[in-house]
Amino acid sequence: GNSVTQMEGPVTLSEEAFLTINCTYTATGYPSLFWYVQYPGEGLQLLLKATKADDKGSNKGFEATYRKETTSFHLEKGSVQVSDSAVYFCALSDRANAGKSTFGDGTTLTVKP
Amino acid sequence: NAGVTQTPKFRVLKTGQSMTLLCAQDMNHEYMYWYRQDPGMGLRLIHYSVGEGTTAKGEVPDGYNVSRLKKQNFLLGLESAAPSQTSVYFCAHKESLAQETQYFGPGTRLLVL
């Protein structure tokens, strides 16, 4: 079956530091890949997505590139802010499997001033 | 709120009691999902629906039932609650199989004593 593996957290960074959160996946078909973000006490919301190999998703300074050869979708941001503190989930969506999504375990990011 | 509300926000149950969680979306989307979120385990799919009148089992369906009598509502029932069902429950919806972004509700926190 499909699976998503995220780098374990928690991750603590100082403001303006560079962020990388690793994500790799296993899928039988050609899934779409997503990063969702969850702020305290809220549901998940879409941060960015990529639907095919070599696509780059970007939003709010975050980027991730769909790498089919390494089955990866690592999240990066050049300069984090305190407001980026949240839990980040990598996920895949499989249209061949009724569009069901598989989520990673989440990575908690804390950014200190 | 991503066009979705969840009721209630928080509930405490005793073992063996029953309850129903309600998810209501106002975006006329076809697909709806129920997930549970437990610490360090990401989101796990309980049940889902691909349209009004349809339901299907997800990854962890045991102990739960669902109904989708109206397109905008997706109900999750616990017939006899167990402490292992203590969790945060999230409802999500998406427009169609091709539109893969999911929109999440704010969550229902359930404590079973």
| Tens digits of residue pLDDT in B16-71 | 999 999 999 999 999 999 999 998 778 999 999 999 999 999 999 999 999 999 99
Choose, out of B102, B103, B109, the residue to mutate when testing the contact with A (most A CBs < 10 Å).
B102
User: Which residues in chain B are closer than 8 Å to A104, comparing Cβ atoms?
Assistant: 42
CB B46 within 8 A of CB B76: yes
Distances in Å between the alpha carbon of B72 and those of A37, B24, B106, B107?
25, 6, 16, 17
Evaluate if residue B94 carries a pLDDT over 70: yes
Alpha-carbon span B67 to B52, nearest angstrom: 9
User: Given a cut of 80, is residue B14 above it in pLDDT?
Assistant: yes
Contact B97 A99 (CB under 8 A): yes
Between chains, do B42 and A43 touch, taking CB under 8 Å as contact?
no
Q: Rounded CA gap, A10 and A13, in Å? A: 10
Q: How far apart are CA A50 and CA A32, in angstroms?
A: 6
Residues in chain A predicted with pLDDT less than 70, given as ranges, are none
